[in-house]
Structure 1
Amino acid sequence: MIKGNPQLNKDNFTFSENYQNGKYPYFTRTAFNNGILGYVNYLDDEHKIKGNCLAIGMIAMQFFYMEKDFYAGQFTKRVIPKGFSLTSRIATYFIILLNKNQQKFQNLLVRNFEDSFNKTKVQLPIKNGKPDFDFMESYIAELENERLYKLDTYLTQSYILTEEEEKILAKSQNIQWGEFKMGDLFERVTSKKLAFKAEELPKEMTGDYILPCLTSSFKNQGLNYFVPKDEATILQNVISIPSNSDIYRSYFQSNEFTILSDAYAVRWILDDVELLPDQYLFAVQCINKVTDLPIYSYKNKLGGWNVVKDKYIQLPIKDNKPDYELMATLISAIKKPILKKVALYVEGKRETTKAV
């Protein structure tokens, strides 16, 4: 059974992107993060929606499982089971079936969605003439366990520190640092200006709009819109920096993207060295110590490359040059304890799944 949600406009309250600062998910039309734009604390019972249901936004037309009570934005609906109870795995089974109809639903007008949904047929396993929910539960558990096993194996191999990494961590307090001018380390990448405005663009991939584009936002590393690849300057393995923002935080962009507005990209040029991803990640943290500061506010207009190129950052040095090997090894060593925590979480999930 499908129902419309009591809708709240996010302009009427404050919400946090971090679940630790809000108890209830705020579900919207986005396809990112399971449709959850952010988190809010208790608002009121009138708008609070009971969890353990499926929810769908009227743009991406993707179904998601909402386990806990939540609030919702405009143009969202929920699907409530009739005559049976959802579990996370049974919900996953239905989501896989329903999302096969995504293209069909996207071609509909919003007002026609409910009628089309009610007429949509899906194939289910049956037992004694009724849906076999036990099979659905165990089938999804089996798939989970298979993928968790692969992930567990990969992580176990990935979080063990090498002898060199252990040495680097042991002496990390005694690293020799040197100062380098940003303009000597990086050059600004030239990109073609796009004839789009952010408000005109989709926030999810759709049709030809498949290339993420950069703005001054710090959400999702500044990549919150999509444009066609045709005639766009496609960038990859560079650092992005906002030029017109209240938060001047740089990011390493490892995947393909382009630039829309109020931001730019820089690439390493010193010593004709092609930096590895971990070395770029190291450089990003060093840049942010200099640029991600309150003085670089929107009002002061200090984020442009003409200003940033004259700033100095500190890097570890060897023979008066950046110590490239240390940069890569230290970042790799820092990531591994985090991977170990993920591996322990996956191991716990596997034990639960095995029981099912």
Structure 2
Amino acid sequence: MSPNSNVEKRVRAKYPDIEIKKILLSQIFNKIGRGNISRQKDLIPSKNGVNLIVQKNVDNGYSGNFELGENRIFKAQSIIIGRQTGWVYYQPEKFMTTDGVLVLESDFQITDSQGLYLASAVNKQMGPFGYNNPVSVAKLKKLDIYLPFSSNGMIAFDYMEAYIKELEAERIKELEAYLVATGLNDYVLTDEEEKVLGHLKSGEIEWGVFKITDVFNITNTHNILKKDIVPDSGSTPYVTAGENNNGVSTCITYDLGKIERGNSILIAGKTMVVTYQPQDFFSNDSHNLSLNLRENNRYEKNTQLFLVSSLKAALFHKYEWGNSISSKKIKSDYISLPINNDKRPNYQIMSVYIKAIEKLVIKGVVEWKNKQIEATRDVANSD
């Protein structure tokens, strides 16, 4: 039984005549475009600029706001597909994108819920595509997707709308139960956390610049190819270059002589994905870098998460596909960190700051969840 089978069962009860049928993607999206940005480094950041969408599997592909310049802009309510990755996202706002992204547009208006349903339908057909078989306009024009149809032969957009709203309502219930069970609904800041947030905001905390190699011991990981592993064969994470699920593709059993030390930071050499790995793990690529703090009494999760963010800020703009980071190049790179009176990294402030941010995020989630529950009740009461 699929995870969404209960949702589908409830919605089908309201729409008993629905039938799922095959249809050419090009019959829904009659325009298939492609981004024209080849050098992200040349873009000029702008707070009020246009959304930049790239090939990454988090944040809906969003990579910041930039001046449009002479770049092509795409309309809202479009769907993007990464050519090399097959990652699919619905875009509710206008955007620009890279030449590695294809854009599906239609002449008719859709709601956000319908857009999410359509994106999911497209995503389900992306299995054959990837780096060795990239998506193309020609391939998409021949691609079939599966959509709900009413008894009159028309696409059932009202069913899509109802399905997504029902799915959202179920996820909100699950979130509410999870927050209570884990104690994450407690988001009150301590005095120390409020003090650190205030000092950072006011600029009272002093920062220092350090060579990354002075802060970390850096080594290349081992190289364990996907074809050489047995997925789900053990309990040790097999970490790849993706951002989804903290880079963990599966858990395996393998040669312990090739295991990487946990409680460390991993930089995916080719994609610049930076993750904190709490457990010992196996790595898929020897281009990946494992970073272990030189001050080995500072191995604490929140500190590591702060360092992950700092490394991204220091390196993300510098390296990209085609100009990948390496253990040699990183020797010339620097990182900015809060410091103590001895001019050394202040790991305590880093840890407290991350805990405070975690609580603020949880507070936002709880408040959003409460609003959604009230909205769901209002809809239910009006039926």
Q: Give 1:211's match in structure 2, choosing from 222, 236, 239.
A: 239
Q: Give the deviation of 1:34 after TM superposition.
A: 2.3
Aligned to 1:28: 54
C-alpha contact 1:55 1:66 (8 A) present in aligned 2: yes
Q: Which amino acid aligns with 1:129?
A: G
Q: Of 156, 169, 179, which aligns to 1:145?
A: 169
> SS of 2:68's equivalent?
coil
**Could you tell me how far 1:11 is from its partner in structure 2?**
2.5
Shift of 1:104: 3.1
What is the one-letter code of the residue matched to 1:94?
Answer: L
| Aligned residue number for residue 160 of structure 2 | 136
Residue 92 of structure 2 is aligned to residue 90 of structure 1: no
Given candidates 343, 351, 355, the residue that maps to 2:366 is 343
1:34-113 → structure 2 map (5 Å cutoff): 34-44=60-70, 47-81=72-106, 84-106=108-130, 107=133, 110=136, 112-113=138-139
Distance 1:111 1:336 in 2: 44
Q: CA 1:27/1:347 → structure 2, altered by over 3 Å: closer, same or farther? A: same
1:135 shift after superposition: 2.0
Distance 1:5 1:329, change over 3 A: closer
- Indicate conservation of the 8 Å contact 1:159/1:340, yes or no: yes
Match of 1:236 in 2: 262
Letter in 2 for 1:158: L
Residue 367 of structure 2 aligns to which amino acid in structure 1? L
Whether the aligned pair in 2 keeps the contact of 1:54 and 1:66 (CA below 8 Å) is yes
Q: How far apart are 1:158 and its partner, in Å?
A: 1.0
CA spacing shift, 1:109–1:50, aligned 2, 3 Å: closer
CA contact (8 A) 1:4 1:78 kept: yes
Return the alpha-carbon distance in structure 2 between the equivalents of residues 103 and 126 of structure 1: 27
CA distance in 2, matches of 1:35, 1:170: 32
1:201 alignment partner in structure 2: none
Q: 2:301 aligns with which of 277, 292, 302?
A: 277
Distance in 2 (alpha carbons) for counterparts of 1:88 and 1:151? 21
Which residue, out of 36, 39, 42, partners 1:8? 36
Question: Using a 3 Å threshold, how does the CA distance of structure 1 residues 151 and 74 change in structure 2: closer, same or farther?
Answer: same
Contact 2:193–2:352, Cα closer than 8 Å, also in 1: no
1:264-305 deviations in Å (ceiling 9; x for gaps): 4215886xx7955346557x59x99xx99xxxxx8994769x
Task: Tell me, yes or no, if the aligned pair for 1:213 and 1:260 is still in contact at 8 Å.
Answer: no
Cα deviation, residue 343, structure 1: 1.6
Structure 1 unmatched runs, 5+: 174-185, 197-209, 215-219, 243-249, 293-297, 305-310, 317-325
Q: Secondary structure at the match of 1:5?
A: strand
Q: Is the 8 A contact 2:31 2:106 kept in 1?
A: no
Write the distance in 1 (CA, Å) between the matches of 2:125 and 2:152. 28
Correspondence for 2:3: none
Q: Residues 140 and 238 of structure 1: is their aligned pair in 2 closer, same or farther, counting only changes over 3 Å? A: same
Check the 8 A contact 1:155/1:340 in 2, yes or no: no
Distance 1:104 1:193 in 2: 28
What are the superposed Cα offsets for residues 112-134 of structure 1, whole Å, 9 maximum, x if unpaired? 313322xx141414253322222
Deviation at 1:35, TM superposition (A): 3.0
Deviation (angstroms), 1:143: 0.6
Report if aligned partners of 1:240, 1:265 keep a CA contact under 8 Å in 2.
yes
| Equivalent residue runs for 1:150-189 within 5 Å | 150-155=174-179, 157-160=183-186, 166=190, 188=217
Q: Decide whether the 8 Å contact of 2:57 with 2:87 is kept in 1.
A: yes
Separation in structure 2 between the aligned mates of residue 276 and residue 253 of structure 1, nearest angstrom: 11
Quote how far apart the aligned CAs of 1:33 are.
3.0
Distance of aligned partners of 1:349 and 1:15 in 2 relative to their CA distance in 1, 3 Å threshold: farther
Aligned CA distance change for structure 1 residues 39 and 300 (closer, same or farther; 3 Å): same
Contact 1:2–1:114 under 8 Å retained in 2: no
Q: TM-score, normalised by structure 1?
A: 0.59
Structure 2 gap ranges (5+): 1-28, 199-214, 226-237, 269-273, 316-328, 336-342
Distance, in Å, in 1 between the alignment partners of 2:97 and 2:194 is 49
State the percentage of identical aligned residues.
Answer: 19
Matched residue count: 284
* Secondary structure of 1:124's aligned partner: strand
Given that 1:237 and 1:253 are in contact with CA atoms closer than 8 Å, whether structure 2 keeps it comes out as yes
Contact 1:49 1:69 in 2 (8 A): yes
Q: Which amino acid aligns with 2:156?
A: D
Amino acid at match of 1:134: D
User: What is the distance in 1 between the residues matched to 2:277 and 2:373?
Assistant: 32
- Write the distance in 2 (CA, Å) between the matches of 1:110 and 1:195: 30
- C-alpha distance in structure 1 between counterparts of 2:155 and 2:293, whole Å: 56
- Deviation (angstroms), 1:32: 3.8
Q: Is the 8 A contact 1:28 1:37 kept in 2?
A: yes
Structure 1 CA distance for aligned equivalents of residues 88 and 194 of structure 2: 48
Q: 1:277 to 1:55 in 2, by over 3 A?
A: same
Cα offset for 1:140?
A: 0.7
SS in 2 for 1:39: strand
